[in-house]
């Protein structure tokens, strides 16, 4: 004899629970193969915080290693070409433009719905020989700089969200750095570059990007003064990029927060553009170093979540196999969130947890939530 069971209200709850369970299982089945995670990817957690999260990208890796692109698209929603948009790469010979590498990155980003930060039109490194050794009249130098900016804008303008127009133009003492651009164009070259970029790509947010300006010091004071002056005079500038290469040392996060807040008060967006935290100077076993590193990543993320003007959080590389730190320091290192097998490190979990759980104080004062940095990074 068939038993008919009347539908009870509790059954609805059971059905809903079962449906949620199967959605969860489907996510786990399709989800990251990084071993990362049953949790949502970084980009999903970051989006809930009003942040884009990303890394700098190598076109060779995108071309040759499917695992690289997979992890990149799965976890991140903004990219910067590591080298592919620098002067020497785009115009190695005068009048000869090479776009393949930059195209590779832009096409990948567009296909995967990722934002793009262009980097960088005028910098003192990565200039081709014809620029380094060039002997031109002032008017020609202006045309060369303007043409480079216009060429990038013309090719990618509608697909870029941000653009580091000028990079590292201010020295540690707060004076303009002695660069080829200062020498050939004169001290108002930054202002000119931002005006040219804005005229050529009016929808792109323009960024000034530098290192060593994370805390208050002569360099960040000079950047602050320049930014305020630009805003007062209507020179187009929309964001400041803080590179945050913490290789030999790292400022107390309270001091980073204090510095970021004064820039935020100018109404600018703030970007962490090139974060990496080296472990080579840290004491302890490898496992202990990675735990210390994770803690420092947590603190940097806490600062960023405490200062609302921070809208971009980028590491300088996807994984330890694609990091410039060993090349730069001539020492092995492991400064990023994923190891060279694309497996998540303690730093990845720390960033994930912080994005999911951290509650800034109502006053958004990171100084109350970031203890003094350990002596581990000197």
Instruction: List interacting residues with ligand XIL (CB under 6 A).
Output: 82-83, 167, 243, 274, 324
Nearer to ligand XIL, 314 or 376 (CB): 314
Q: In degrees rounded to 5, what are phi and psi of residue 272?
A: -90, 115
Q: How many residues does the chain have?
A: 378
Min separation Cβ 123 and ligand XIL, Å: 7
Please say if 168 is a catalytic residue.
yes
C-alpha torsion sign, points 309, 270, 109, 68: negative
Min separation Cβ 89 and ligand XIL, Å: 10
How far apart are the C-alpha atoms of 110 and 160, rounded to whole Å? 10
Nearer to ligand XIL, 274 or 320 (CB): 274
Q: In degrees rounded to 5, what are phi and psi of residue 280?
A: -65, -25
Indicate the residue whose CB is closest to ligand XIL: 324
Min separation Cβ 243 and ligand XIL, Å: 6
Catalytic entry in 74, 168, 214, 302 = 168
| Cα–Cα distance list, 222 to 124, 171, 186, 280 (Å) | 18, 9, 17, 31
Half-sphere exposure (Cβ direction) of 21: Cα atoms closer than 13 Å: 6
Min separation Cβ 256 and ligand XIL, Å: 18
Peptide bond into 9 cis (omega under 30): no
Q: Residue 116: name the closest of 128, 104, 99, 100 by CA.
A: 104
Catalytic entry in 74, 82, 274, 302 = 274
Nearer to ligand XIL, 163 or 324 (CB): 324
Residue 313: helix, strand or coil by DSSP? strand
Nearer to ligand XIL, 222 or 275 (CB): 275
List, by residue number, the catalytic residues: 168, 274
């Amino acid at each position: 004899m068939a038993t008919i069971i009347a539908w009870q209200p509790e059954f609805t709850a059971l059905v809903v629970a079962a449906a949620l369970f199967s959605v969860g299982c489907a996510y786990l089945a399709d989800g990251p193969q990084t071993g990362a995670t049953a949790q949502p990817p970084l980009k999903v957690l970051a989006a809930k915080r009003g942040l884009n999260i990303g890394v700098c990208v190598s076109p060779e890796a995108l071309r040759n290693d499917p695992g690289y692109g997979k992890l990149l698209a799965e976890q991140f929603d903004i990219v910067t070409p590591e080298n592919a948009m620098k002067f020497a790469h785009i115009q190695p010979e005068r009048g000869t433009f090479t776009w393949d590498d930059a195209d590779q990155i832009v096409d990948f980003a567009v296909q995967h719905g990722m934002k793009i930060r262009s980097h960088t039109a005028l910098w003192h490194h990565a200039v081709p020989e014809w620029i380094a050794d060039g002997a031109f009249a002032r008017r020609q130098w202006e045309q060369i700089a303007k043409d480079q900016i216009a060429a990038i804008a013309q090719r990618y303008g509608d697909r870029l969200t941000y653009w580091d127009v000028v990079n590292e133009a201010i020295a540690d003492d707060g004076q303009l750095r002695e660069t080829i651009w200062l020498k050939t164009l004169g001290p108002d070259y930054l202002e000119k570059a931002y005006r040219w970029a804005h005229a050529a790509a009016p929808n792109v947010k323009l960024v000034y990007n530098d290192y060593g300006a994370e805390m208050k010091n002569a360099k960040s004071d000079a950047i602050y003064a320049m930014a305020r002056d630009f805003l007062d005079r209507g020179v187009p500038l929309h964001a400041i990029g803080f590179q945050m290469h913490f290789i030999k040392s790292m400022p107390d996060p309270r001091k980073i927060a204090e510095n970021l807040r004064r820039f935020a008060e100018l109404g600018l967006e703030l970007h962490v553009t090139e974060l990496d935290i080296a472990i080579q100077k840290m004491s302890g076993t490898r496992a202990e170093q990675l735990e210390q590193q994770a803690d420092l990543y947590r603190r940097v993320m806490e600062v960023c979540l405490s200062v609302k003007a921070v809208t971009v959080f980028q590491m300088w590389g996807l994984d330890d196999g694609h990091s410039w730190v060993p090349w730069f320091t001539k020492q092995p290192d492991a400064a990023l969130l994923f190891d060279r097998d694309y497996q998540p490190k303690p730093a990845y979990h720390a960033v994930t947890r912080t994005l999911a759980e951290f509650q800034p104080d109502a006053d958004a004062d990171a100084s109350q939530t970031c203890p003094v940095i350990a002596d581990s990074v000197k």
